Structure 1
Amino acid sequence: MKTKTPWHSGKMICVAVFFIAAIVTLVAIAIVQNKPLEQKYKYGIVLDAGSSHTAMYIYEWPAEKENNTGMVGQRHKCKVKGKGISSYAREVAGAGRSLAMCMEEAKQCIPAAKHQDTPVYLGATAGMRLLMKQDRNSAVKVMEAVQQTLQASPFSYQGARIISGQEEGAFGWITVNYLGKNFQKAAGTMGALDLGGASTQITFVSKETIQSPDNAMEFRLYGNDYQVYTHSFLCYGKDQVLKLALEKKLKSADTSLEDPCFHTGYSEDKLFQKVFDSPCVQAVSTDAMNKSFMHKGSGNFIECQNSIKDIFNFSQCKNSQCSFNGVYQPPVEGTFGAFSAFYFVMNFLNLTGQSLADTKKGMEHYCQTPWNTIVENHPKVDKKYLAEYCFSGTYILTLLENGYNFTSENWKDINFIDKIEGSNAGWSLGYMLNLTNMIPAEAPDTPLMPHGGFVTLMLFLTLFLLILLFLGYTFLGRPSCLPPKEIV
């Protein structure tokens, strides 16, 4: 009769100890890895004080993953009522008061316990850059007024300043590539095209050496070095460029102006002051400023484009190649994200995703549509803005093709975008990321146990347990000794 190995033998005790240890380890790792943690968030506020309006953006990110790629997202956006802060030059206190409603929204949006730890920044762009040129004293007072409002809020005030055009372009480039997670992709980065009311910016990584130091900016992000070409054209935002175009057509003695960039049937009495109240155009006499002219539309895309080309200077270039007005620009390459007014105008005209030839056909058809038909088709759109879409769309097309040198071959590389991953494309997110050092110079450390490693360890422990079970079964079923055979 066979005698099995007793369960309390050394071998069985050893197997049992390893079996219990493996079970405990497997359960502990599974609990820790999958433990539901209470998500804690941090917040940041950026006010984009543009030439035509101010917008407040609230960003949030998981506190324990502050330096990981793509973790910052937009939680809330508030559009400040009224025009941009530069419009308050004659009533500077109003600039600060205009921000009050959105700051109240921020108080409701961000948990009260986080208020004092939430940084708030304000960046003023081309509107304030123009006011600084025109009336420095008023510009300083406007900035002081907005500073007082932000300092009175419960948030951590980190500064309000007028950012340069190059910074605006570079921060927009950081935003679109951060949201698109391009900084860790081998495919490369996306260029950025920004169009506001008073300026336009182009920023992209060029393969060739940038010949103009004024147009070069360098960044080290996630372990990679980037040298970007960037330039900002002050006075070439869609609102200021309309003044430039009208200036080319108007003389102080004119009482009527027929404009191919406005629809047939459009007619509006306008003051010269509305055209010549900007440092972007030549000043006229006080008497002329008080005069008015009748602005009439003739709705001709080809003539409109030819008139817009007059505001560019394509003849002067001291470098090997230029965009316009003698500004150096290397050849555009790669894909581009075109946002802000680029998107809003082209989206309204339903010309995003079109070829260059189809874009031109679409603009021609839209501009020749009579004004009364345009009004009937868009009853909810403010007539002031509605009247300018023919001009703005033609200007965008001309700027991209003739100014920045996009062609029919690479037109498809322009993506007109409003949001990426739920966050608005623009310079504000890149501005906050830069000031808070939330994009590390070196690549973030990898997690201690990524998902793949966790699955592999679970499989290993499970296999180990099966082996122990097999050994235990083998040991328990094996005889410890056999009786001697009987001698016959």
Structure 2
Amino acid sequence: MEDRKESELKNFCSRNILIILGFSSIVAVIALIAVGLTQNKPLPENVKYGIVLDAGSSHTSLYIYKWPAEKENDTGVVHQITECKLKGPGISRYAQKLSEIDIYLTPCMVRATQVVPQSQHQETPVYLGATAGMRLLRIENERLANTVLIAVARSLSKYHFDFQGARIITGQEEGAYGWITINYLLGKFSQKLNWLNLKPNEGSALETYGALDLGGASTQITFVPQNKKIESPSNALHFRLYGRDYSVYTHSFLCYGKDQALRQKLAKDIQGTNGILRDPCFHPGYETVMNVSDLYSSPCTKKFERTLPFDQFQIQGTGNYQQCRQSILQLFNTSSCPYSHCSFNGVFLPPLHGDFGAFSAYYYVMEFLNFTSEETPSQEEMTDTMEKFCSQPWEEASCPVWSPMQGPNP
């Protein structure tokens, strides 16, 4: 009899314990929902934010990124949520007006405080990477370059983010970041998982794109060569992304961005003139005056510097694409190569492999010429369009409604 009573008591207790635990769980869930509703806030999202300022030679852009706290194959899955372009030139141009740097940075940093949730400010890293414009300033005046970075750091540290520093990145780093970015956006790092061991299937790796980046002061080329042997160690980089190893070739050509390359061409062509340069790389009818001292102020033009009998020179455009091309080709020295294969100026370059994505100034020019549609233009089509555009009189070519496919509209 006693055994029966004891058994009934145990069953009663077990049922009630389950009921109590179940009721407690329901109450806990309701409480969480109620707190969220009463505070008019969603339940916390397990994400992180990051802010990067890309300080180029001609401008600076601020990017805000967001990613899940959990990584995929030891690599974060990052999404850009907004971009803010700073008004003004690159930070190297503020070397003689340091007091204006704070004003320069403020609008986009204020924007960042509005986009990133306030609760995440203190744990959101902020990082500024300066590229070729500041690399040139450091060559010209290292103390002044450091002063600019100190002023930038002082301004960025005022905000309640986790400031990680402001520094000049190397050309190799710049090329690598561009290569990672373009392949990430194109989904080239995606890999199928072998669900038996949860590791990437080596046979499922996608062919990566090479990256071509044209800035104002430098240009970069980065790609995975078919033969992984890279004869110049300074051009080799190694990554492990999404569970896979990559060995890439990269090189940054300082002074061969669009702005500095033009300076080099002018410094070369002005020699032997009487102060008037008839230049095929400018439209017919285009005229401007430039100080010789300004032309020689860049480290990129020092090799062309000469004592000239004039302080200023005039540029008169003649608009001839083929002559312009021949003038620019003279900037590339291909006469010697200490390696099995070179690009120019004795720089090692392995045989090109795969498809390439071109961005920055490459994209801006192609977009202007209406060549950024899905259909890739042939080299002949591009050359024909450039010849037509370069021959247009300046007053017509500078018209904002000009269409390279239809000709200028008066």
Output the TM-score relative to the length of structure 2: 0.79
Shift of 1:196: 0.6
Corresponding residue of 2:21: none
Q: Given the superposition, is the C-alpha separation of residues 37 and 176 from structure 1 closer, same or farther in structure 2, using an over 3 Å criterion?
A: farther
**Which of 368, 371, 388 is residue 391 of structure 2 equivalent to?**
368
Percent sequence identity is 53
Corresponding residue of 1:428: none
Q: Which amino acid aligns with 2:184?
A: Y
Corresponding residue of 1:140: 146
Please tell me whether the aligned partners of residues 70 and 181 of structure 1 are also in contact (alpha carbons under 8 angstroms). no
**1:328 pairs with 2:351:** no
Equivalences for residues 162-181 of structure 1 within 5 A: 162-181=168-187
Which shows bigger deviation, 164-173 or 275-284? 275-284
Q: Which amino acid aligns with 1:190?
A: Y
Q: Given the superposition, is the C-alpha separation of residues 47 and 286 from structure 1 closer, same or farther in structure 2, using an over 3 Å criterion?
A: farther
Indicate the structure (1 or 2) with the bigger Cα radius of gyration. 1
Please tell me whether the aligned partners of residues 252 and 284 of structure 1 are also in contact (alpha carbons under 8 angstroms). no
Q: Report the 3-state secondary structure (helix = DSSP H, G, I; strand = E; otherwise coil) of the residue aligned with 2:176.
A: helix
Gaps of 5+ in 1: 1-35, 380-488
**1:268 pairs with 2:288:** yes
Corresponding residue of 1:85: 91
Q: Which amino acid aligns with 1:74?
A: Q
**1:357 pairs with 2:380:** yes
CA distance in 2: counterparts of 1:212 and 1:139, whole angstroms: 29
Corresponding residue of 1:60: 66
CA distance in 2: counterparts of 1:64 and 1:262, whole angstroms: 53
Corresponding residue of 2:216: 197
Q: Which amino acid aligns with 2:89?
A: K
**Which of 304, 308, 311 is residue 331 of structure 2 equivalent to?**
311
CA distance in 2: counterparts of 1:346 and 1:247, whole angstroms: 27
Corresponding residue of 2:27: none
Shift of 1:165: 0.1
Please tell me whether the aligned partners of residues 97 and 149 of structure 1 are also in contact (alpha carbons under 8 angstroms). no
Q: Given the superposition, is the C-alpha separation of residues 148 and 196 from structure 1 closer, same or farther in structure 2, using an over 3 Å criterion?
A: same
1:428-457 Cα deviation digits (max 9, x unpaired): xxxxxxxxxxxxxxxxxxxxxxxxxxxxxx
Corresponding residue of 1:466: none
Shift of 1:240: 0.4
Q: CA RMSD in A?
A: 2.5
Corresponding residue of 2:50: 44
Shift of 1:207: 1.4
Higher relative contact order (CA 8 A, sep 6+): 1
Q: Report the 3-state secondary structure (helix = DSSP H, G, I; strand = E; otherwise coil) of the residue aligned with 2:212.
A: strand
Corresponding residue of 1:128: 134
Q: Which amino acid aligns with 2:323?
A: E
Q: Report the 3-state secondary structure (helix = DSSP H, G, I; strand = E; otherwise coil) of the residue aligned with 1:75.
A: strand
Which shows bigger deviation, 314-323 or 263-272? 263-272
CA distance in 2: counterparts of 1:259 and 1:233, whole angstroms: 24
Please tell me whether the aligned partners of residues 189 and 206 of structure 2 are also in contact (alpha carbons under 8 angstroms). no
Which shows bigger deviation, 121-130 or 187-196? 187-196
Q: Given the superposition, is the C-alpha separation of residues 81 and 90 from structure 1 closer, same or farther in structure 2, using an over 3 Å criterion?
A: same
CA distance in 2: counterparts of 1:286 and 1:98, whole angstroms: 37
CA distance in 2: counterparts of 1:314 and 1:166, whole angstroms: 22
Q: Report the 3-state secondary structure (helix = DSSP H, G, I; strand = E; otherwise coil) of the residue aligned with 1:120.
A: strand
**1:215 pairs with 2:235:** yes
CA distance in 2: counterparts of 1:96 and 1:132, whole angstroms: 21
**1:98 pairs with 2:100:** no
CA distance in 1: counterparts of 2:138 and 2:215, whole angstroms: 17
CA distance in 2: counterparts of 1:70 and 1:37, whole angstroms: 22
Shift of 1:355: 1.0
Shift of 1:69: 6.8
1:345-386 Cα deviation digits (max 9, x unpaired): 11112234211121111111111111111123448xxxxxxx
CA distance in 2: counterparts of 1:143 and 1:252, whole angstroms: 40
Q: Report the 3-state secondary structure (helix = DSSP H, G, I; strand = E; otherwise coil) of the residue aligned with 1:99.
A: helix
Q: Report the 3-state secondary structure (helix = DSSP H, G, I; strand = E; otherwise coil) of the residue aligned with 1:314.
A: coil
Output the TM-score relative to the length of structure 1: 0.67
Q: Report the 3-state secondary structure (helix = DSSP H, G, I; strand = E; otherwise coil) of the residue aligned with 1:308.
A: helix
CA distance in 1: counterparts of 2:43 and 2:207, whole angstroms: 35
CA distance in 2: counterparts of 1:378 and 1:280, whole angstroms: 35
Q: Report the 3-state secondary structure (helix = DSSP H, G, I; strand = E; otherwise coil) of the residue aligned with 1:233.
A: strand
Shift of 1:253: 6.1
Q: Which amino acid aligns with 1:364?
A: E
CA distance in 2: counterparts of 1:257 and 1:141, whole angstroms: 37
Q: Report the 3-state secondary structure (helix = DSSP H, G, I; strand = E; otherwise coil) of the residue aligned with 1:319.
A: coil
Please tell me whether the aligned partners of residues 202 and 231 of structure 1 are also in contact (alpha carbons under 8 angstroms). yes
Q: Report the 3-state secondary structure (helix = DSSP H, G, I; strand = E; otherwise coil) of the residue aligned with 1:116.
A: helix
